[in-house]
Structure 1
Amino acid sequence: MKSGKFEYVVTERGSEIERISGLGRDQVLYLLLKGVTFSIATSYELRNRRSTGDGRAVWFPYQENLMASLRPAWGLRLKAEHEHILRTFPLNE
């Protein structure tokens, strides 16, 4: 934490993948809980996998609902992020 701000650092196998600096408390909580809910939602999708279709059709809404249950604004923010992803990489159904 630098001067009251947080840094969010993603590493994999000892290598830094991503660093976001200057985050406020709400922003860093959003990122941390987005990661937690991602794990929960993808596990849910795996248990409820459809034989055809794109897993994101199951896990995206599930994760959005989880985030909205924590903070409604976070659910809306994640939904907008998912919509952006789907515009670039549409569902394979």
Structure 2
Amino acid sequence: MLKIEELQKRIDELLLKAGLPRHSVNLCTAPVGDGTPYISFENGKYNYIFSERGYEFFRKITESTDELLYWIMSELAYKIAFKYELENRIEGRDGRRIAFPKFIELMTKINPLWKLKAEDEIKKTLSASPYDDSLYL
């Protein structure tokens, strides 16, 4: 397991590799209180936790540093992809048609080995909630 400083260094390297601003992701090891995710280290595992005002919304647990890095970077990639969609919105079209390919593009830039994982994540999302342009008319 990597220490928080080592994880931050790895994140900074991935950001640089993808051409994203350094300090786009600042890792925390305790709740900030505003929904910012943080990392805890318990029983030899990483815990990636989202909480706000003392209420835990979501927790992912892994032993894999690569998996943790994927989760952290995908959070940023989704934010960037949906900002891109907002700036390039097409009236009457499900915005995910623009955001999802951008997300996959970003994740591939960050780490080419993550492309298939990102594509699979999008496929699962779309199988549960297919594109529906009628919602945007």
Provide TM-score, normalisation by structure 1.
0.90
* Amino acid of the structure 2 residue aligned with 1:78: A
* Amino acid of the structure 1 residue aligned with 2:74: K
- Computed over aligned residues only, the root mean square deviation of the Cα atoms, in angstroms, reads 1.4
* Amino acid of the structure 2 residue aligned with 1:52: G
CA distance in 2, matches of 1:52, 1:12: 34
Range with greater deviation from structure 2 (25-34 or 10-19) = 10-19
Identity of aligned residues (%): 33
Q: Which runs of structure 1 show a deviation greater than 6 angstroms over 4 or more consecutive aligned residues?
A: none
Question: Is contact 1:54-1:92 (8 Å) kept?
Answer: yes
The residue aligned with 1:45 is 85
Larger Rg: 2
Partner deviation per Cα, 1:33-57 (whole Å, 9 max, x = no partner): 0000111001000000001110100
Paired positions, count: 93
- The answer to which structure has the higher helix fraction is 1
Specify every segment of 5 or more residues in structure 1 that has no aligned partner in the other structure, as ranges: none
One of 64, 68, 75 as aligned partner of 2:115:
75
Matched, 1:28 2:74: no
SS in 2 for 1:28: helix
Provide TM-score, normalisation by structure 2.
0.63
CA distance in 1, matches of 2:111, 2:78: 15
SS in 2 for 1:51: coil
The residue aligned with 2:56 is 16
Shift of 1:3: 4.6
Shift of 1:6: 1.0
* Amino acid of the structure 2 residue aligned with 1:89: S
Specify every segment of 5 or more residues in structure 2 that has no aligned partner in the other structure, as ranges: 1-40
* Amino acid of the structure 2 residue aligned with 1:70: I
